[in-house]
Chain A
Amino acid sequence: AQSVAQPEDQVNVAEGNPLTVKCTYSVSGNPYLFWYVQYPNRGLQFLLKYITGDNLVKGSYGFEAEFNKSQTSFHLKKPSALVSDSALYFCAVRDMRTGGFKTIFGAGTRLFVKA
């Protein structure tokens, strides 16, 4: 079965410190992995994706993610957190069994960045 897990409901970090939001996946075949962010009362915004190629993926707003095949992980990182990064973050995988049209989302991790 295709799935993603976000083991932390909430992550707290001080402004200026590095942040990590964890994600592990379980897929058959090659994974198509995504990170999205959602601010209050807004839709989801795409941050970055891993399809193939370099394991370190750089995305929007200074975020990056590292694809680790042996650990089946795709953790989201940022070297220096901003208060404005506080939001709900979703890891996601495309379900290739349905032609890739279905996206399976993790439960979400709420990030709080304290000034």
Chain B
Amino acid sequence: DTEVTQTPKHLVMGMTNKKSLKCEQHMGHRAMYWYKQKAKKPPELMFVYSYEKLSINESVPSRFSPECPNSSLLNLHLHALQPEDSALYLCASSRIVPGQGQGTEAFFGQGTRLTVV
């Protein structure tokens, strides 16, 4: 299984709603990532988890709250979002290879297309 599965594929939410994005992988990868991608732009890193611990937070607003319940799952909790948060949210995972400085490729999910109204 070389897939990263993201649910839902599409999400429309109001600015007062609370919702969650989910991501799952069964490749045994111990690094998991959330990215935000605007149309025709490269992905922007939001969060990195390594060994289920938050290792990088790219100064993301607190209305985005990540969670890594176990080594296969990654969630992104959303609350009080703004219309400018509308984007494609991508989850990714990769192996951690000690001594190789993370020279490993990332596997991406298909993304959740989020629209904030």
Contacts and interface: CB of A to CB of B under 8 A. Distances in A.
Contact of B40 (A42, A96, A99, A108): A108
B103 interface: yes
Contacts, number: 69
A106 B102 CA distance: 19
A103 interface: yes
Contact of B101 (A44, A99, A105, A107): A99
Contacts of B48: 101-102
Interface of A: 32, 34, 36, 41-46, 49, 51, 88, 90, 94, 96, 98-103, 105-108, 110
Tell me which of B40, B41, B105, B110 has the highest count of chain A C-beta atoms within 10 A of its own C-beta: B105
B109 A43 contact: yes
Interface string B96-108: 0000111101111
Contact of B105 (A46, A90, A110): A46
B56 A32 contact: no
A105 B110 contact: no
Interface string B36-62: 000011110100101000011000000
B102 A43 contact: no
B4 interface: yes
Interface string B79-113: 00000000010101000000011110111111101
